[in-house]
Amino acid sequence: MARLYGSRKRILITGGAGFLGSHLTDRLLDLGHEVICVDNLFTGTKRNIDHLHRHPRYEFMRHDVCFPLYVEVDEIYNLACPASPIHYQHDPVQTTKTSVHGAINMLGLAKRLKCKILQASTSEVYGDPAIHPQPEDYWGNVNPIGLRSCYDEGKRCAETLFFDYHRQHNLKIKVMRIFNTYGPRMHPNDGRVVSNFIMQALTGEPLTIYGEGKQTRSFCYVDDLVEGMIRLMDSEDSVTGPINVGNPDEFTIKELCELVLTHTGSASKVIYLPLPDDDPKQRKPDSKLALSLLNWSPSVELAAGLVRTIEYFRWVQANA
C-alpha cells in the first residue's frame, strides 16, 4: 500500500539521471518530497545528479527497468528509455525491451503498491502525422518496421499496457505525450537538433540542416515540461490521458538554426544534407486538453530558453 505521511511523498523516477528525470527530481525535492532515482546510466549521466548525492531526501539506485524492482513508494514516474535517435537506434532491441518490459515491471510495482504511475510517452507515437497539429485522438501514421520503430512502437505498446492495466486492474495511470523538449543537461552528442546546432555553433563546425530545413518542430523548455508533468500526476484520477505536453509555437528547422547562430555569435556555415528515413515533416501538439484539464501552457519563449541552454553547453565545454 502507498505510504503517505502528511504532504510528503516518496516518489520513484525511472530514468532519473537523464535530462528530464534530473530536472523532475530537482523540482520534486524543492516541493519537499523524497525521491528515489533509478537509472542504468545508458544515456543518463552522474553529472546530472552530482549535486544531489548529499541531499537527505534523495537516493540513487543503479538498476535496469527491464528487471523487476522492489521498493516502497507513493508515486512512480516512468521515464526510463533512450529518447534520441542516435541512442535508441544504437541498440534497437534493448530500446523496445526498455519500453515494454520496463512498463510491465513498473506497472506491476504500481499494482502491488496501489499507487499512481505516470508514463512518459512521446509525440513519436504520431509518426509522420497526416493531421496537423496532432490531437490526442489521432492514431498516427507510423512505420512499424522502420529505423525509428523501436522507439515509436515501443512507446505505443507501453501506452497499450498502461490502459490495459487501468481497465483490468483499476490502476491509477497518467499518460503524457512529450513533444520536443530542450534545456540544460541535454546530452551534447544526442543527435537532437537543438544540441546539434548549439554544439556545432560553439565549436565552429558547420550547422547541418537535413532536407531544405522547412520541416517544423515545436520546442518546449524543460522547466515548462516538468511543470506539466507534475500537474498531470497531481490531477484527478479520472484524468488518465493521453495528454499532449509541448509548446504549440511552431518553428522551421531553418529558423531554429538562425536563432542559434544569433545567440551564440557563431560564424559557422550552414550545410544541407539528405533528410533521414521516416523523419517527420511536421510536429506540433494540439494542446487544448493540457490547458483545459491541467491549466497548463508553456511560458518560456524559445529565444530565452536557447540562451539558458547555450550557457549550459558553454559550461560543459569549459569543464570537459
Topology of domain 10-181+222-247+284-299, CATH: Rossmann fold (3.40.50)
Q: What is the pLDDT of residue 192?
A: 87
Band the pLDDT of 1: cuts 50, 70, 90. very low
Q: In whole angstroms, give the CA distance from residue 124 to residue 85.
A: 11
pLDDT in tens, 272-290: 998 876 666 778 899 999 9
Q: What 3 state SS string does 173-226 have?
A: EEEEEECCEECCCCCCCCCCHHHHHHHHHHHCCCEEEECCCCCEECCEEHHHHH
Amino acid at 202: L
* pLDDT band, residue 2 (cuts 50/70/90): very low
Domain coordinates in residue numbering, the chain: 10-181+222-247+284-299
70 flagged as catalytic: no
Task: Calculate mean pLDDT across residues 248-257.
Answer: 94
Q: What predicted TM-score, i.e. pTM, was given to this entire model?
A: 0.93
| Main-chain dihedrals φ then ψ at residue 31, nearest 5 degrees | -80, -5
Q: Among residues 126, 151, 165, 182, which one is catalytic?
A: 151
